[in-house]
Amino acid sequence: MSVSAHGVATVAAQEFRLRIRAGRWQWLLAIWFVVLFLFTGLIWLSLRQPIGIEGERGTPMFGALMLFVLALALLVVPALTAQSVNGDRERGTLATLQVTLLTPADIALGKLAAAWGTALVFLALSLPLVAWCVVEGGVTLSRLAVTLTVVSLLLGVVCAIAQALSAVLARSTTSAVLSYLAVFALTIGTLIVFGLAATLSTETVTRRERVPVFDPNGATITGYTDEEYTTTEPRTERIWWLLAPNPFVVLADAAPQLPPRRDPVTGLEATQSDVDVLGAIGLVVRDLRSPPEDRGEGPLIDKRGAAVWPFGLAADLALGAAALAITTRRLRTPSRRLPRGIRIA
Amino acid sequence: MTGADQLSAALNDPANGVVARGVRRRFGPVEALRGVDLTARCGEVTALVGPNGAGKTTLLLVLATLLVPDAGDVRVAGHDPLTRPAEVRSRMGWSPDVFGMYDNLTAREYVEFFAAAYRVPSAHRADRARELLALVQLDSFADRPVHVLSRGQKQRLALTRVLVHQPAVLLLDEPAAGLDPRSRVDLRDLLRRLAREGAAVLVSSHILTDLEEVADRVVFIDRGMTVGEHNLAELPRAQRRVWRVRALDLPALLAALDAHSYPHGDPTPAGVDIELASEEEVVALIAGLVGDGVPVVSCAPVGGALEAAYLELTEEHQ
C-alpha cells in the first residue's frame, strides 16, 4: 500500500492540531510535571539520608525516574490513542478523509505520528528532571541516550497497539479498555506468565559435585570424590523470553553498564548494583537467561550474561509494526464489511 | 448489439459520469441493493429519488469508492471504484447525508486541509479556499471556528470540501437538508452551473420541488431496485392529479364548479383544489369556467410533476 511523505505530514499536522485544540492540555501537562517533580524530589531527599548507599546519587535517581516515567506514560498513552480511528468514525469524519487522495497508510501513519508525538511531549517534560539527575552525577551520556531512546520507542509501540484496537473495534470505550488490558498484559501479564512457567519448568536434576574425603579423624583431606545428589531447579534459561517483551525489562537491560566503581576504602572494584536500579534489574534477567550451571553465586558482578533486551525490544517493535499493518488494513476502502452498528460516514 | 456489447458501451462511454448496472449489496440478512441501474451523464444533473431505506445512501457509498458491491458493474468518471479507487477519487466529490466536521478548525483551515488531502499544490490552497468560501457565501466566516456555524452553513462548508479538487463527478446525498430557502436556491444555481461546466451531478433528495427545478433526469429507486429512469421533460404524466384553481371572484368560481358538478375541497386563500383524471379534463374545466365568465387567475397542478410521479410510483409498490 502506497504511502507518501505529503500524505503522512498532512494527516499528522491535522491530528496534532485537533488534539491541541480539543483538550485542556496545559492542566494535564502541568499535573504530569508536578507528579514527576515530587517523585524525583522524594528520591533525592531519601538518598540524602545516611542509609549506607555508596556512589553517586544521580545513578539511582535517574534509574528510578525513568522507570517511573515509563510506568506513568503507559497509563497516559492508551488514553491518548484509543479513539484515534473509531472516534473519527463516531464523529463521522473518517469517511470524508478516506475518499480523498490520502491512502490508508497515510492516514494510519499520520495518526500514529500525532499520537506518538503527543506521548513524546510528555516524555520531553521529564527532561528538566533528567538534567537534575545528571547534575547529581553518575549518569553516563550513553546511558542517557539509550534509555531515552528506548522509552520513546516503547511509547510508540503502545500508541500503535492502542491505535490498532481503535481501528478494529467499533466503540471507543471498548478500545480504550482493551488498550489498558494490552498494557497490563505487557507489564504484569509477562511477569505472571513467566512466574507460572518457571514453576512448570522446574526439573529434578542429578548433579555431581566434587567433595573432599576426610581422614577418619576428620582433620585432613585425603583426597576427593565425586558425589551425586539430586536437586530441583527452575530451568528459566528455556523461558526467559517470556519476560523479554516487558517494557521495564527492556528499559532496564538496555541501559548500558556503568563503569566499575572503586571502593574508596579497599581500593577494590565494588558492585554498583545496590544503587543502580536499572543495572540490577538487567543483571537479574540476564541471570535468568543463563543455565543454572553458569549462574553466578554471591555477587553477580562478574557474571553479566547475554543480553535480554534486544529480543524484547525486537518483539515489541514487531508488535507495533503488526498493529500498524492492522490499522492500515482496516482503513482500506472500498471495504467489504462495516463495523457493526456504525454508519460508514 | 448484444446485451454484453450494450453494457460495455455504456460503461465505456465518456459522456457518462456515473454508470451502474445490476449493483447488488447485502448487509447480513438485509438486501440493501437488489440490482440498481443508473446513468448520470456529464453536463447533467441527475436526481436519485426513492423512499427512506430504498438504498440511495448504500448506492452512493458504492459509487464513492467506500463499499464493495456484491455484484454489478460500476464506473465513476470512467474508472471502476473497486479496482481504481484513486483514479475515481481524484475526479469525484462525495458528500454523505450525515457527516462530522472538525469543530475546532476555522472554516478556512477546513478547506485548506482538504485541499492538501486532495493534493492541491500548496501555493494554490489559500486562493482555492478563499474562492470556495466566497462561492458558498461563507467568506465572512473564514476565520470563525466551524462549531459556531449553523447546520445550513455547515452544509455549505461541506460543499467546499466536495469541490476543492474540481471534480468531474459530484455525488451529493441530501445536500439540501437543513438549508434555508435562500441557500436552497443558491445550491440549485450552483449545481446547474457545475453541470453547465461539464460535471456529472448526482443528487439524492427528499425535497422534490427543488429537484424538479434543478434536475435534467431522475432515477427512481425503491427497495434496492431501479424502478424508473426518465428525462424530467418526459416524465410519465400522472393521470389523476389535484389541480388548484384561483379566481378573482371566489363565490362565482364555487358556483360555476357546483354548476358543472366538479367535486372540490373547501376554498383556501391559495385557491380551490379539484381532482381531475386527465389533462383533457383540465382543458375542459378551464374552457368551462372561462365560458361561464369566471375571472380565472390560475389553474396549476398541486405539487410538481416529479412529486406526482413519485407518489404514483410509491403507491404502486405499496
Domain ranges of chain B: 3-234, 241-316
Please list every residue in chain B whose beta carbon sits closer than 8 Å to the beta carbon of residue A22.
104
Helix (H) or strand (E) holding A143: helix A141-168
Is B241-316 the same fold as B3-234?
no
The whole-model pTM stands at: 0.86
As a whole number, mean pLDDT of residues B180-191 equals 90
A256: which residues sit within 8 A by CB, 6+ positions away? A140, A142, A143, A146
Q: What is the pLDDT along chain A (345 residues), one digit of tens a residue?
A: 589 999 999 999 999 999 888 877 889 999 999 999 999 999 999 888 766 566 788 889 999 999 999 999 999 999 888 889 999 988 889 999 999 999 999 999 999 999 999 999 999 999 999 999 999 888 899 999 999 999 999 999 999 999 999 999 988 999 999 999 999 999 999 999 999 999 898 888 777 778 888 888 777 888 888 888 888 888 888 899 999 999 999 999 999 888 776 666 666 666 555 678 898 898 889 888 887 766 555 444 445 678 999 999 999 999 999 999 999 999 998 998 765 444 543
Integer Cα distance of A304 and A86 in angstroms: 46
CB contact under 8 A, A93 and B81: no
CATH for B241-316?
3.30.70
As a whole number, mean pLDDT of residues B107-129 equals 95
A17: which residues sit within 8 A by CB, 6+ positions away? B104, B105, B109
Please check whether residue B123 touches A, CB under 8 A: no
As a whole number, mean pLDDT of residues B29-56 equals 92
pLDDT band at B317 (very low <50, low <70, confident <90, very high): low
Are A119 and A77 in contact, with CB atoms under 8 Å apart?
yes
pLDDT averaged over chain B?
89
In the numeric block, which cell numbers belong to residue A152? Answer: 520513546
- How does pLDDT run across B228-278, given as a tens digit for each residue? 888 887 776 666 778 888 889 888 888 888 888 888 888 888 888 888 888
Measured between CA atoms, how close is B89 to chain A, in angstroms?
6
- How does pLDDT run across B130-171, given as a tens digit for each residue? 999 999 999 999 999 999 998 889 999 999 999 999 999 999
Are A92 and B99 in contact, with CB atoms under 8 Å apart?
yes
Measured between CA atoms, how close is B86 to chain A, in angstroms?
6
CB contact under 8 A, A93 and B61: no
In the numeric block, which cell numbers belong to residue B32? Answer: 440493501
Torsion, Cα A167 A170 A172 A178, to 10 degrees, reads -70
Please list every residue in chain A whose beta carbon sits closer than 8 Å to the beta carbon of residue B101.
93
Q: Is the pLDDT of residue B39 over 70?
A: yes
Are B75 and B11 in contact, with CB atoms under 8 Å apart?
yes
Amino acid in position B138: L
CB-closest option in B85, B96, B165 to A345: B96
Q: Poorest-confidence range of A67-71, A310-314, B97-101, B294-298?
A: B97-101
Amino acid in position A20: I
Whole-number pLDDT of residue A338? 66
Which residue bears the cell 410519465?
B236
Whole-number pLDDT of residue A344? 45
Please list every residue in chain A whose beta carbon sits closer than 8 Å to the beta carbon of residue B90.
101
Please check whether residue B67 touches A, CB under 8 A: yes
Are A162 and A78 in contact, with CB atoms under 8 Å apart?
yes
Q: Is the pLDDT of residue B107 over 90?
A: yes
Please list every residue in chain B whose beta carbon sits closer than 8 Å to the beta carbon of residue A333.
65-67, 85
Which residue would you say has higher pLDDT here, A189 or B205?
A189
Please check whether residue B114 touches A, CB under 8 A: yes
**Angle, alpha carbons A35-A37-A38 (nearest 5°):** 65
Which residue bears the cell 485542556?
A24
- Taking one residue from A and the other from B, the number of pairs with CB-CB distance under 8 angstroms is 84
Which residue bears the cell 364548479?
B257
In the numeric block, which cell numbers belong to residue B26? Answer: 447485502
Please list every residue in chain A whose beta carbon sits closer than 8 Å to the beta carbon of residue B62.
334
CB contact under 8 A, A95 and B66: yes
CA dihedral for B267, B272, B275, B276, sign (positive or negative): positive
Measured between CA atoms, how close is B293 to chain A, in angstroms?
59
Whole-number pLDDT of residue A331? 94
Residue B16 backbone phi and psi in degrees, to 5: -95, 115
**If you write DSSP's letter for every residue of chain B in order, what string do you get?**
--HHHHHHHHHH-TTEEEEEEEEEEEETTEEEEEEEEEEEETT-EEEEE--TTSSHHHHHHHHTTSB--SEEEEEETTB-TTT-HHHHHHHEEEE-SS----TTSBHHHHHHHHHHHTT--HHHHHHHHHHHHHHTT-GGGTTSBGGGS-HHHHHHHHHHHHHTT--SEEEEESTTTT--HHHHHHHHHHHHHHHHTT-EEEEE-S-HHHHHHH-SEEEEEETTEEEEEEEGGGPPPPSSEEEEEEES-HHHHHHHHHHTT--B---BTTBEEEEESSHHHHHHHHHHHHHTT--EEEEEESS-HHHHHHHHHHHHT-
Whole-number pLDDT of residue B301? 82
A182: which residues sit within 8 A by CB, 6+ positions away? A78, A158, A161, A162, A165
Please list every residue in chain A whose beta carbon sits closer than 8 Å to the beta carbon of residue B109.
17
Are B23 and B72 in contact, with CB atoms under 8 Å apart?
yes
Measured between CA atoms, how close is B126 to chain A, in angstroms?
15
Whole-number pLDDT of residue A341? 46
CATH superfamily ID and name for B3-234: P-loop containing nucleotide triphosphate hydrolases (3.40.50.300)
Which residue bears the cell 559435585?
A209
Which residue would you say has higher pLDDT here, B255 or B310?
B255
Which residue would you say has higher pLDDT here, A163 or B312?
A163
As a whole number, mean pLDDT of residues B6-23 equals 90
Please list every residue in chain A whose beta carbon sits closer than 8 Å to the beta carbon of residue B91.
none
Measured between CA atoms, how close is A179 to chain B, in angstroms?
25
Residue B302 backbone phi and psi in degrees, to 5: -85, 130
